[in-house]
Amino acid sequence: MTAQLSFPHVNHEMFVENVSIADIAAQVATPFYCYSQTAIETNYTNYQQAFSEQDALICYAVKANSNQGVLATLAKMGSGADVVSMGEIRRAIAAGIPANKIVYSGVAKTAEEIHYALRQGILQFNVESEPELELISEVATALNITAAVAFRINPDVCAQTHAKISTGKAENKFGVPISKARIAYNRAAELPGIKVQGVDVHIGSQLTNLAPFEEAYQRIATLVTDLRADGHDISVIDVGGGLGITYQDEVLPSKQDYANIVKAQLNHLGCKIIIEPGRSLLGNAGVLVSSVVFVKQGEEREFLILDAGMNDLIRPSMYDAYHGIVAVSQKDKSLNTYDIVGPVCETGDTFAKSRQIHQSKAGDLVAIMSAGAYGSVMSSTYNTRMLAPEVMVKGEQFSVVRARPNYDDVINADTIPQWL
Ligand SMILES: *Cc1c(COP(=O)(O)O)cnc(C)c1O
């Protein structure tokens, strides 16, 4: 089953698995995120099967969607976690992911975060710079703990994706340049409290083509051979995440095609492989459900104004991202063309221009598709709009896995200075 099949229209009414979206909307109120647990599980199983011939650990990239319900689903399946902050370590552990399956990425780990990660006993630090390495060494030595490290290598390849989510070119802030890697490893080997164990690479997100992965992994393989010649014991290769999903009409390589590339480039080195998928586990497993507030006739075009906005889903305004948008009820409706916009006071608050969907009127529900990754996690309360709740569906059941906050809690989080 592909993830899209978890959101079928049955008799012209949209469902998530076996639950009607209209039924959830009646209880939860819009806007809300809705995830199919089965779709997440299917995506995870596909990765597991694709990598079954390799000694591979899947470390889900928590930043794509860090809801406890999502993390607990993956924890139960045996997933590890790729995290980028102390907050994400806390979330992963709270959901049942064991610390020894957690790899810690991120360009600006603080001493406090490193301290916390060491005390938990994480699997590996993916170190992004020499100053970070020195800090890890200091904190580890003070705690009398050895930190297992890999350097995140910037292989200087073009990921052929959106500039804001491309991370593996020399000009990007991420990782240690491949040309300086041997110096960095030699330095690491000298430092107390550090155990060199691996090499890490992550070149970007929403890659739709395997060639950049192939090029990056080929460079990593050469580097591992060089590092071993330099006397380093390299037993882990973290190949990052980044495999894309179909938002519109992108044709994606399969997870098996991707696994085959990893195998072809790296298998001969005999290392444990870590993969860090985020978007490709969650993206197509979630939708954002919204109601039409008004249909407004502009001078040149007709607007569908929704109760979800850029504060709920920022990808269209931030990355020019395409999301499919469908009417939840399509019974006896013809198609019409709209600009589909949110209520936020920004022109950028536009989900789609000149988009054909079934004729809609105020109060009708629409689903913004492929919103399971980098959706809820990037939302904000801009315009003092409450964070959209999150709902998880499994079969006939649904559960609110994050409730909508109330206005008092949000306003009372601020304090007025006592001198006013
Ligand atoms: C964001 C990120 C990932 C996940 O990327 P996806 O495109 O969501 O698969 C993996 N590893 C690192 C280091 C990341 O920053």
Mean pLDDT by 10 residues, the chain (420 residues): 77 98 98 98 98 98 98 98 98 98 96 98 97 98 98 91 78 89 97 98 96 97 98 98 96 97 98 98 98 94 97 96 98 96 93 97 98 98 97 98 97 97
pLDDT at residue 159 in the model: 82
Q: Tell how far the Cα of 106 is from the centroid of ligand 1, in angstroms.
A: 10
> Does one domain contain both 122 and 148?
yes
Domain final residue pick, 253, 277, 301: 277
Structural domain containing residue 338: 3-36+283-411
* Angstrom distance (rounded) from CA 123 to CA 121: 7
Joined tokens for residue 173: 């802030």
pLDDT at residue 363 in the model: 98
φ, ψ for residue 25 (rounded to 5)? -60, -35
Ligand 1 pocket member 200 (CB < 6 A): no
pLDDT at residue 170 in the model: 75
The atom number, within ligand 1, closest to the CA of 373 reads: 8
Ligand 1 probe mutation, 65, 83, 167, 205, most atoms within 8 A of CB: 205
Ligand 1 pocket member 153 (CB < 6 A): no
- Residue 229 sits in a domain whose CATH number is 3.20.20.10
| 233 domain-assigned | yes
Annotated binding residue at 407?
Answer: no
> Does one domain contain both 292 and 341?
yes
Domain final residue pick, 243, 277, 311: 277
pLDDT at residue 4 in the model: 63
Block residue for tokens 């529900």: 365
> Does one domain contain both 150 and 271?
yes
pLDDT at residue 156 in the model: 92
Ligand 1 pocket member 168 (CB < 6 A): no
| 167 domain-assigned | yes
The atom number, within ligand 1, closest to the CA of 277 reads: 9
Burial 290-308 (b: 16+ CB within 10 A, else e): bbbbebeeeeeeeebbbbb
pLDDT at residue 173 in the model: 80
Annotated binding residue at 402?
Answer: no
pLDDT at residue 1 in the model: 41
Catalytic residues: 345
Q: Tell how far the Cα of 61 is from the centroid of ligand 1, in angstroms.
A: 6
- Residue 13 sits in a domain whose CATH number is 2.40.37.10
Looking at the structure of the chain, the number of domains it has is: 2
> Does one domain contain both 329 and 344?
yes
SS3 letters for the chain?
CCHHHHCCEECCEEEECCEEHHHHHHHHCCCEEEEEHHHHHHHHHHHHHHCCCCCEEEEEEHHHCCCHHHHHHHHHCCCEEEECCHHHHHHHHHCCCCHHHEEECCCCCCHHHHHHHHHHCCCEEEECCHHHHHHHHHHHHHHCCCEEEEEEEECCCCCCCCHHHECCCCCCCCCEEHHHHHHHHHHHHHCCCEEEEEEECCCECCECCCHHHHHHHHHHHHHHHHHHHCCCCCCEEECCCCECCCCCCCCCCCHHHHHHHHHHHHHHHCCEEEECCCHHHHHHHEEEEEEEEEEEECCCCEEEEECCCCCCCCHHHHHCCCCCEEECECCCCCEEEEEEECCCCCCCCEEEEEEEEECCCCCCEEEECCCCCCCHHHCCCCCCCCCCCEEEEECCEEEEEECCCCHHHHHHCCCCCCCC
Annotated binding residue at 319?
Answer: yes
Ligand 1 probe mutation, 132, 276, 282, 374, most atoms within 8 A of CB: 276
Ligand 1 pocket member 278 (CB < 6 A): yes
Q: Tell how far the Cα of 363 is from the centroid of ligand 1, in angstroms.
A: 37
What is the model's pTM?
A: 0.96
| 365 domain-assigned | yes
pLDDT at residue 162 in the model: 80
Q: Tell how far the Cα of 168 is from the centroid of ligand 1, in angstroms.
A: 12
pLDDT at residue 222 in the model: 98
> Does one domain contain both 256 and 319?
no
Which residue's CA is minimally distant from atom 3 of ligand 1? 241
Domain final residue pick, 277, 292, 320: 277
Annotated binding residue at 279?
Answer: yes
Closest CA to 125 of 179, 228, 185, 198: 198
> Does one domain contain both 225 and 135?
yes
> Does one domain contain both 118 and 257?
yes
Q: Tell how far the Cα of 291 is from the centroid of ligand 1, in angstroms.
A: 31
> Does one domain contain both 214 and 303?
no
- Contact status, residue 71 vs residue 81, Cβ threshold 8 Å: yes
Annotated binding residue at 315?
Answer: yes
pLDDT at residue 325 in the model: 98
